[in-house]
Amino acid sequence: MSELYIAIEQFEHQVDCFCPDADHVNILHFQKGDFIEVTPDRKYTFLGWYALVVINGQQAFYMAIEDIERYFRNEYISSQLDIDLKINYLHYKIDQDLESGNRDSFAENSRKLSETCSLKEELEYYIAKAI
C-alpha cells in the first residue's frame, strides 16, 4: 500500500542520477499542494535505499528514503493524519487565544487553520478521485 503525502511548503529536490557519466542534474520544484505518493516499490543502490515516488499521479522516479524522511521531519510534506492532528491543535490554540483575548495570535492561528483545512480538502479530494 502506498503512503500519500501533500507538500505543505514549496521546496526543491535534486533527483539522484545513476548514469555512469552523471553530468546532468535534474531538479524538481514542489509547490504547496503537490501530492507525493510513496509506493511500496523499493530499490537498493550503492547510494542506499530508494522508493518509487509518484508526483501528482503523473511523474514517477526513485527518491532516497532518507530524503523523504528529511522532508517529513522538516515539515515540507505531511500525511493526512498529521494534518488532522495539526487542525486539532490549531482549534485548541484558537480557543486559548479567545480566552486570553490575544487578537494577533488569534488572527495568525485562524489563518493557519484555514490554510491547513484547505490542504486537507485537497488531499481528501485526491484520495477520493484515486479510489
Specify the residue for cell string 486570553. 100
d(CA 50, CA 37): 13
What does the block give as the cell for 47?
Answer: 547510494
pTM: 0.87
Taking phi over 0 as left and psi of -120 to 50 as alpha, with beta for the rest, 22 belongs to left
For residue 5, pLDDT over 90 is answered with: yes
Residue 106 is predicted with a pLDDT of: 97
User: Could you tell me what percent of the chain has a pLDDT over 70?
Assistant: 93
Residue 24 is predicted with a pLDDT of: 66
Residue 46 is predicted with a pLDDT of: 84
Of 4-18, 72-86, 113-127, the range with the lowest mean pLDDT is 4-18
- pLDDT, one tens digit per residue, over 18-72 is 766 656 668 899 999 999 999 999 999 888 999 999 999 999 999 999 999 999 9
Distances 23 to 51, 61, 90, 104 between C-alpha atoms, Å: 23, 18, 46, 50
